[in-house]
Structure 1
Amino acid sequence: MTVKNGFNERISALGSLLQAEGRVQLEMEEISYLHDRFSSWMTLFEVAGLLWEFRFNKFLRELLVLCTDGNIDELRAMARDFYLQGKNAHDASREYKSITAKRRKDINAIVETTPENSL
């Protein structure tokens, strides 16, 4: 990895902010991702935004793998809320499956009570 102008300082500052907030520290995979996308004009806020994007996309991929029978567009829409609530992918997949199971049950109940000739 080549050293980019200002990268180490911003990564160090970001690590300090994460530590002060009691959040998960940077992993090597994250540092590599940030380094590949870093430009010297970026502010610490922009670097933090890249980190959020990386972590969210990783969360979304895990969620999609856990919910292979789910609606992809619906999962993408719900993933942001799950992520912002601090849920891990396993908890989010359980909640998504619970929501969709209830929805299916409600739809089945409606279908069962609808007379055949009105369909």
Structure 2
Amino acid sequence: MVVATPLLVVLTRTATQNLLNRRNNCRGPRKNRAEIASACIVALLPALMVATLVVLKGAFRYDPPDVPQVGTTITVATMAFMATVHGLVLAWNLGYAVPFDLVLAGSLVWAVLIVVYAANGERVHA
């Protein structure tokens, strides 16, 4: 996920610029393929969030953690993290200066905290 973030930023920025350019130059309600593709790229991260939620729910149903709270906490934290990344990407697309060095550092800290939380929850219960 951390590696995919810069790629999503570039793709969504390009898609947003294409949408804005097309909207300014559009002469009617007809949408061409570039506009539809741009909208799909902007919606990529929310779709990825839904897919991640389905995978997490399936994984926790197939192999439930010893402490049920661990699965819920990891699911909520992952969705919050992905929503934050999506918000930052959209902010960057709108022209705000987003320090992606700090985003990367925050992503690594988030990953470490989630792993420590899950390992500690399983270790304490075992």
TM normalised by structure 1 equals 0.30
Q: Which has the higher contact order (CA 8 A, sep 6+)?
A: 2
Of structures 1 and 2, the larger Rg is shown by 1
More helix by share: 2
TM normalised by structure 2 equals 0.29
